[in-house]
């Protein structure tokens, strides 16, 4: 019996490892192609986003590629109702844990979904930490969907055609015309 169980457990563990490795490699490649790989925003960028967002209670905000939820949680603590879209299920699970721990259920909502498939027209504030190659396509999407006056705050990269209102600490503030 033991002769059978040991190789069976070994093969099962190996298969599970191979499966997880495949899933996370696929997610990483997808994130590289259609968004950005997971890198959490540094504290100075987060502080600048909160300053630029200048949130009024009840405003609706969204983080595109919400990672571990740190931008969402900071915006909710500043008074916003926040949604986040994230394609990595592990990060979505981790964010859900953080939302519960912080007692922010009903204020922060994380969705396992690509932000390219979301209509962003209801949001007052859009935040992102992406990569350069998505900025042109994202600018077109935001231009079509956002209402005039909506704020867009990008950490790391600027949009190719829009003129930013402010830039500090690699953080760019825009307002939809
Ligand atoms: C650079 S990280 C930023 C995470 C978080 N916003 C922060 O600043 O700490 C980018 C995140 O976007 C996610 N992502 C990439 N492409 C995406 C897409 N199309 N839809 C939703 N999330 C995406 C990645 O999985 C990654 O967690």
Q: Where are the domains positioned within the chain?
A: 1-34, 43-175
Instruction: Tell me which of 38, 112, 115, 135 to substitute to probe ligand 1's pocket, judged by most ligand atoms within 8 Å of the beta carbon.
Output: 38
Average confidence (pLDDT) over 164-173 = 98
Q: How far is CA 164 from CA 52, 131, 145, 152, in A?
A: 12, 17, 18, 9
- According to CATH, what is the number of the domain 43-175? 3.40.50.150
Do the strands 81-86 and 60-64 form a parallel or antiparallel pair, or are they unpaired? parallel
Q: Using an 8 Å Cβ cutoff, are 68 and 95 in contact?
A: yes
Least confident among 17-26, 73-82, 94-103, 148-157: 17-26
Q: Give distance in angstroms: CA of 141 to centre of ligand 1.
A: 17
């Amino acid at each position: 019996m033991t002769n059978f169980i040991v190789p069976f457990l070994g093969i099962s563990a190996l298969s599970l490892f191979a499966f997880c490795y495949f899933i996370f490699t696929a997610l990483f490649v997808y994130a590289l192609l259609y968004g950005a790989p997971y890198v959490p925003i540094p504290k100075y960028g987060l502080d600048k986003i909160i300053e630029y967002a200048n949130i009024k209670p009840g405003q609706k905000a969204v983080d595109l590629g919400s990672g571990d939820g740190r931008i969402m949680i900071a915006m909710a603590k500043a008074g916003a109702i926040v949604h986040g879209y994230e394609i990595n299920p592990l990060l979505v699970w981790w964010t859900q844990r953080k939302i519960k721990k912080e007692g922010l259920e009903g204020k922060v909502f994380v969705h396992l979904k690509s932000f390219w498939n979301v209509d962003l027209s209801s949001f007052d504030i859009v935040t992102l930490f992406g990569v350069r190659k998505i900025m042109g396509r994202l600018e077109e999407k935001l231009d079509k969907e956002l209402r005039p006056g909506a704020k867009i705050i990008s950490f790391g990269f600027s949009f190719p055609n829009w003129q930013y209102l402010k830039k500090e600490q690699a953080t760019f503030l825009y307002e939809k015309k």
